[in-house]
Structure 1
């Protein structure tokens, strides 16, 4: 065996010692075995910047060149959180391949080519940061949750800046509003200033990989510092006029937490476009899905059909009409983005539009006939 190919057992030992804090486990070790036989090193990407990445390997932190694996498919671009195989003796040190991703957060871009953008990979928990310094935007929270559920990771909502809510009763109502919006998701009020909720959140994210998501000014970097126990991330004040912040974080950084687990802090997201997130939308609105199963007609559109359990729930007050409006909006948006890349779905949507148009014209003709 050449000197460039370390012995498998010594590599495994070194990988466990160095990479275990970053999430390396026996499953990753088995996945990597074919590459270890080729003399490549495992590494986890902790930061990506313009075609290069910082990654931690059994030999320490390396600077890797991603040119070798940069595909035309934007969904396969090297991303923070990825596990990769790297050539340790190359010049430069090329990332040779990506290991299969367990989970991935994907949003649609503003590109006219309808591309998806991967924000972070191989995550276990997605902490959606929502500032209590401004009025709650429940629709935005639902959008983030759809993105999170679709990734395959477990979302939770951190209501940041809880110390700015003047009374306990008011805070309790805000938590209840978000819990109604986020069925099956833990909602935790936190304050980096007072420490409220930080210990609870730390205990949750101490196992596995967690990522902080939210808009600028949501307090992600401040919360990251609280979870990390030191001022690692730069923090800027939000504007008093509207509570919005500037992009303190400009890259996605993966950092080891002192109590275990790793944390990825991300730049604030201006747009949260869905990308083929039908399952995520259904999960966010699970109560509507449950009600729909009780409708008289299996293809009920929940508009005016007799025996519609969804409309019945709105009438008796058990389902807020805002929830149904938001559900419809996200379903339509997701259908549009999928249709851009799915010819069959485009045809189905077109047929549906034509059918509804014909039904509408027939209804108008019938109405005119009655008027005459």
Structure 2
């Protein structure tokens, strides 16, 4: 089995081994489950499932504080280089703080009382991405029979698509702040009075999804109540923000700086999403091991991945094996598995060197496909 895994999925020093990109989807569907790996994953990580509230709260609040402090300096400073430096700090801080939406989706809320509320109050609503837009969406990406299919809201076969899809994928994220403002300030209130519009808003404009064919179902019970509360808060905030700008209470320049920083956060996240998977599945259900091999780990010793893939996202492939393990424990899990699993284990074939090599691999795949 190791030989079958090596050709389509191994990267060495940023180079891609094997050029048959089109055939990879077919080979991926033939990958059986590595039972030894899956057994080791379960046995070696049993003690890592509990989130540490001190780590969660301190990391999240410090990241948000740094992000908002940078935003304030970028708005108030009259010196261009200071504004640029502060904006960069703000982007990185808010990007890391925003990454906790992923943890909110997976964590047991009883283990972290108040964290969902804290996230939405500090980041989710102010940045127009309340957690209901990810909760109930992201878990479908982890469903055994949905991953990589047209029912997966977070998957597109990008490696098998045309070259123009990659720049479009990134450029679209630039418009995210404007689209979210319009959704919350205009569409959401109007949809309360127009049932047909409400159906469209719920199905197509209420989830952080990249699959345009995906349609969201209405939430029920507690999830529905959380949705309404968060959506209402986001609508009030959006209307207040736009009213402040149109009345002159909020200077236009300050508003544009805010939009630029939020848009930059969205672009950075979109780039990270671009390399979270190899995107080589053509729509068929895969084995758990195949799903793992279609995903990406960028483990240490590289340091940059902690910036562009924060809050455990550098271990995205491992996360697909351990979705309930909190972000701060994934590094420990990776070390244990790397040390214990045999050299021919599938686990060693999902590790990559960095962002540049992954982007090159994906771009080359689309160019071959489009030729």
TM-score interval w.r.t. the shorter chain? under 0.3
Structure with higher Rg: it is 1
Higher share of residues assigned helix: 2
TM norm structure 2:
0.27
Higher RCO structure, 1 or 2 (CA under 8 Å, sep 6+): 2
TM norm structure 1:
0.27
